Amino acid sequence: MQRRSFIHASAASVLIPVAGRPGLAALVVASSNRDYVFFDERFEKAQRIVASWAVSTQPTPVHSDITAVWQGGLDRTMRDHAVRVRGVTTQSFLFCLRILAAEQADIEAQMSRLDRDLLVWKMRTVPRNSGMKVHHG
């Protein structure tokens, strides 16, 4: 089995479909500037950090699963547009987001561990078919 297929299959097994949160898809689609901010609402520290950021979009509360967000329109947005994403989430959320985004776009990401549960991260994606390049540096 090729490594890429293995990783895709592994990610798919982690992404168990769940009922979407009311309004979650609307939050993803409504962002006209293609900036997204996510925080794991189970952790007060994540909420406080994201609340302290000056952001141009409404932060989206999530749990460790990205399925509802991805299927709510983020997949299409990343496929068609350059996107900036930030968050304070668990490692599993970021791991799955990176795998899914890499299927459609070139990504540049930075992250640091906040504590044993949370990561603070940011990511920029550029669709592969756009001709634009992600600058690493």
Three-class SS state of 44: helix
- The reported pTM is 0.71
Alpha carbon of residue 9 to chain centroid = 19
Q: Which residue has the tokens 């930075």?
A: 110
Q: How far apart are CA 76 and CA 71, in angstroms?
A: 8
pLDDT along the chain (137 residues), means of 10: 44 36 40 82 96 91 92 94 96 96 95 96 90 55
| Contact indicator for 83, 120 with CB cutoff of 8 Å | no
What is the domain partition of the chain in residue ranges? 3-130
Amino acid at 6: F
